[in-house]
């Protein structure tokens, strides 16, 4: 039952993340070169590093699991950046409208989309036994689903919004019922394609981002319930699968530390280099690296998929969970320190 509830919660959460997605960040004219460079470096370098780490540790940490599938999942885990938590950090520190804030959230948005597409491709490829024909058919099916959602789903949603308008911040019951049915139908469709259910929720959510009233009402009516009921279940579910005591030897903790260091450097250093190439000063480049290193919930979702599909073993799952939590927790203190040095009024903002 906990597994089912966690999956339902994730589908609804991914729908909300999709509907909250700010496409405006991608079209922002300011600092486009910086956004492009940071996005490219923040995906390519961690992917390559993660894949090499996977190849180097497969025989030691993941015996009995296909080395290619394992390496691809480690690569995805290294590349993930969590847009939702990044947005909250920017708001907390008053950086939402700053140049560095706009650049990092824009780059993270691109990183997020590319990451989920790569995740879908990896699941299709690994799940098909690395058959190019079968995985190609799955990706073609996914492309067909995206096309159907764009050509049929989007006009249908527009009609639904006109037929059942949101009034006083409340979603009409018929509209809510239809949308929930559409969310789970999209999840079933992607599952049938051999990918994973939550990707369907994310795709459908992207179609709703233009309807601001609906998105705000959903966040108030459904989103809060998802956060206070389903999300704790998912965290509990993840916690029960995370066996920290299972890392019993010093060697395993050394591997855990090595994975954390590799994942952190694979994000911060390339982002710093990209930001400097784009003309940002060293301080801003460091801030960009720290911000892009946040992984949080998105990473946990990816790791649970990998464990569920059998592409990462339990001990590596635990190591990567520790890495995800640590890279997210360290972002706040590091950012505060960097902002202090830059003369940013961080204390006043946090105390306000």
pLDDT of 173? 93
Do the Cβ atoms of 45 and 218 come closer than 8 Å?
no
Do the Cβ atoms of 103 and 34 come closer than 8 Å?
yes
Q: What is the DSSP string of 117-130?
A: HHHHHHHHHHHTTS
Q: Can you list the alpha helix ranges (DSSP code H) found in 149-227?
A: 154-163, 173-192, 197-207, 212-218, 224-225
pLDDT of 228? 86
Secondary element (H or E) of residue 58: helix 32-61
Nearest C-alpha neighbor of 271 from the set 112, 119, 107, 143: 107
pLDDT of 317? 94
* pLDDT, one tens digit for every residue, the chain (352 residues): 677 888 888 888 888 877 876 665 555 555 678 889 999 999 999 999 999 999 999 999 999 898 998 999 999 999 988 777 787 788 778 777 777 888 888 888 788 778 878 887 888 777 666 666 776 777 788 889 989 999 999 999 999 999 999 988 899 999 999 999 999 999 899 888 877 787 888 889 889 988 989 999 998 889 888 888 887 888 887 888 888 888 889 999 999 999 999 999 999 999 999 999 988 889 889 999 999 999 877 788 889 889 988 899 999 999 999 999 999 889 888 988 888 766 655 444 433 3
Q: Which residues contact 338 (CB under 8 A, 6 or more apart)?
A: 283, 286, 287, 290
d(CA 217, CA 164): 13
Secondary element (H or E) of residue 266: helix 250-277
C-beta atoms surrounding 244 within 10 Å: 12
Q: Furthest-apart CA pair in the chain: how many Å?
A: 62
Do the Cβ atoms of 56 and 76 come closer than 8 Å?
no
Write down the pTM of the prediction.
0.78
Domain boundaries, the chain: 2-351
Do the Cβ atoms of 169 and 212 come closer than 8 Å?
no
pLDDT of 350? 36
The reply to whether CATH 1.20.1530.20 applies to domain 2-351 is yes
d(CA 285, CA 274): 8
pLDDT of 352? 35
d(CA 195, CA 116): 11
């Amino acid at each position: 039952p906990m597994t089912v509830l966690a999956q339902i919660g994730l589908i609804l959460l991914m729908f909300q993340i999709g509907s909250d997605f700010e496409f405006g960040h991608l079209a922002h004219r300011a600092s486009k070169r910086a956004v492009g460079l940071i996005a490219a470096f923040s995906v390519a370098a961690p992917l390559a590093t993660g894949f090499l780490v996977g190849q180097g540790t497969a025989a030691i940490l993941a015996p009995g699991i296909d080395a290619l599938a394992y390496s691809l999942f480690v690569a995805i885990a290294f590349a993930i950046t969590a847009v939702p938590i990044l947005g909250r950090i920017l708001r907390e520190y008053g950086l939402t409208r700053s140049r560095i804030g706009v650049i990092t959230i824009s780059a993270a948005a691109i990183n997020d989309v590319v990451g989920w597409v790569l995740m879908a491709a990896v699941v299709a490829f690994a799940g098909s036994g690395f058959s190019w024909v079968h995985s190609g058919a799955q990706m073609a099916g996914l492309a067909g689903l995206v096309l159907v959602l764009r050509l049929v789903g989007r006009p249908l949603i527009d009609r639904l919004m006109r037929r059942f308008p949101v009034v006083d911040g409340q979603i009409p019951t018929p509209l809510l019922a239809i949308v929930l049915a559409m969310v789970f139908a999209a999840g079933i469709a992607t599952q049938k394609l051999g990918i994973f259910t939550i990707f369907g929720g994310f795709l459908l959510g992207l179609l709703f981002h233009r309807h601001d009233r609906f998105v705000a009402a959903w966040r108030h009516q459904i989103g809060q319930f998802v956060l206070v009921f389903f999300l704790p279940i998912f965290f509990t579910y993840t916690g029960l699968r995370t066996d920290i005591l299972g890392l019993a030897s010093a060697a395993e903790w050394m591997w855990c530390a090595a994975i954390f260091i590799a994942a952190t450097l694979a994000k911060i250093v390339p982002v710093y280099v990209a930001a400097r190439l784009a003309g940002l000063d060293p301080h801003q480049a460091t801030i960009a690296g720290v911000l892009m290193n946040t992984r949080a919930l998105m990473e946990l979702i990816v790791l649970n998929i990998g464990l569920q599909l059998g592409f990462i073993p339990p001990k590596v799952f635990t190591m990567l969970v520790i890495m995800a939590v640590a890279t997210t927790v360290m972002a706040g203190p590091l950012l505060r320190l960097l902002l202090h040095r830059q003369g940013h009024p961080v204390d006043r903002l946090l105390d306000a």
